[in-house]
Amino acid sequence: MIRSSARAALPWLVVLSSITVFPTTARAADLPFETATVGEQTVAEVYVADAVIEAVNRATIAAETSGRIEKIYVDVDDEVKKGDVLLRFSDKEQRARLAQAEAKQREAEARLREAEVEYERVKKVFARKLVSQAALDKASANLKAIRQRVSAARASVKQAREQLNYTVVRAPYSGIVVERHVEVGEMARPGTPLMTGFSLEHLRASASVPQNVMSAVRKIRRARISLRDPLQPGKRIAEVAAQKVTVYPYADEKTHDFKVRLQLPKNHAIYYPGMFVKAVFEVGSAQKLLVPVQAVVHRSEVTAVYVVDENDRVSFRQVRVGGRLIKGDHLEALAGLNAGERVALDPVHAGVVLKEQRAGSKAP
């Protein structure tokens, strides 16, 4: 909870709504528009920070074997599923190594069978005390050595098969290709970058917050990711609640800001990596006087509302309002209004009624 004195010292705090009950609206019998009663509500105080959307799963696939690029099946902006083939290497060399390793394995297994037969023969002869202990030990050692050769041959076959499998490059997860680093015919070696891609299934927003609000952000851990209209900065195109707020346990040495990551819901169709958004962190709550945003009008440099008194008389009153709220499209009334007063929700019709009332009052 941030105290009032702390709020006064933080001019960048924007008050955003966490209202569950909004001011009620009513239509007077002789008025052609609805009105709303201005009242105090418990709202959330927030800190708004710039943020950038990032892909949680982003990777650059590198070559794991040597070879010439033979075929490329996908390009930039292509969608792929997990396991889809991205490209192929020429695999003649890998197949030759595999055939050679398999031949050595068959040879080692044949010698293993021969050594097993020889060991059993020497063992039976030794049982009849026709050969020495040294002969039996020699047969046993030869059998163990050949078994190790078989294990080594099998490992070589496994390695050769893996090298052959590496000639077919597959997508590690479903996503979109964002960069291709090679062309058909190029020679690649282990570690050569091949393709870069990311998944749109898991996204996050990365932002930085100053140390004077970090304790509140870490304690409350509630935030929203807001996408604003670039042509109308005050208008939101989309807004979602962060599923998880991760606060880094250290600050940047130069800026002294803390990095915070906000996890977005899965498969969100509006946000894409690299987009510039606003991260709205809840840092406290307070009682604020609220006025519906549709009741506020702007006449040149004047911000005002149409106030309706108890006799349904309309008046045009200048007010001072704060920032837009998160929920309900309400603004904070900083000056010019009192709790319990009614405001017109349709300024156009309210202006017409005001002119009619003024004309009626001037009539003889």
Q: What is the CATH number of the domain that holds 270?
A: 2.40.420.20
Across the chain, mean pLDDT equals 84
Claim to verify: residue 351 and residue 233 sit in the same structural domain: yes
| Tokens at 360, concatenated | 């009626």
Claim to verify: residue 257 and residue 311 sit in the same structural domain: yes
Q: Does residue 306 carry a pLDDT above 50?
A: yes
Q: Does residue 322 carry a pLDDT above 50?
A: yes
Average pLDDT over residues 271-283: 90
Better-predicted residue by pLDDT, 50 or 309: 50
Q: Of 308, 267, 66, 61, which is closest to residue 172 (Cα–Cα)?
A: 61
Average pLDDT over residues 285-305: 83
Domain-ending residue, one of 142, 164, 198: 198
Claim to verify: residue 75 and residue 190 sit in the same structural domain: yes
Claim to verify: residue 345 and residue 223 sit in the same structural domain: yes
Task: Please report, as a single letter, which amino acid is at residue 134.
Answer: A
Confidence at 363, pLDDT banded by 50, 70, 90: low
**What are the tens digits of pLDDT across the range 12-61?**
444 443 333 344 444 444 677 778 888 777 777 788 899 999 999 999 99
| Residue 259 pLDDT | 96
Domain-ending residue, one of 171, 198, 225: 198
**What are the tens digits of pLDDT across the range 215-257?**
999 999 999 998 876 655 556 677 888 999 999 999 999 999 9
CB 164 within 8 A of CB 64: no
Q: Does residue 324 carry a pLDDT above 70?
A: no
Claim to verify: residue 270 and residue 322 sit in the same structural domain: yes
Q: Of 126, 151, 154, 155, which is closest to residue 140 (Cα–Cα)?
A: 126
| Residue 74 pLDDT | 96
**Residue 147 to residue 113: CA distance in whole angstroms:** 10
Claim to verify: residue 225 and residue 302 sit in the same structural domain: yes
Claim to verify: residue 49 and residue 79 sit in the same structural domain: no
Claim to verify: residue 228 and residue 332 sit in the same structural domain: yes
CB 283 within 8 A of CB 321: no
Q: What is the CATH number of the domain that holds 72?
A: 2.40.50.100
Give the HSE-up count for residue 11: Cα atoms under 13 Å, Cβ half-sphere.
0
Claim to verify: residue 335 and residue 218 sit in the same structural domain: yes
Confidence at 321, pLDDT banded by 50, 70, 90: confident
| Residue 361 pLDDT | 67
Claim to verify: residue 320 and residue 229 sit in the same structural domain: yes
**Residue 23 to residue 27: CA distance in whole angstroms:** 13
When mean pLDDT is compared across 86-100, 189-203, 215-229, 329-343, the lowest value belongs to 329-343
Share of the chain above pLDDT 90, in %: 55
CB 344 within 8 A of CB 350: yes
273 burial class (0-12, 13-18, 19+ CB within 10 angstroms)? middle
| Tokens at 338, concatenated | 């009192």
Q: How many domains does the chain have?
A: 2
Claim to verify: residue 85 and residue 18 sit in the same structural domain: no
Domain-ending residue, one of 173, 198, 223: 198
Residue-range definition of the domain harbouring residue 121: 62-198
| Residue 26 pLDDT | 45
Q: pTM for this one?
A: 0.63
Claim to verify: residue 194 and residue 209 sit in the same structural domain: no
Average pLDDT over residues 336-346: 84
Taking each continuous run of H as one helix and of E as one strand, the counts in the chain are 5, 24
Ranges 157-161, 212-216, 279-283, most confident: 157-161
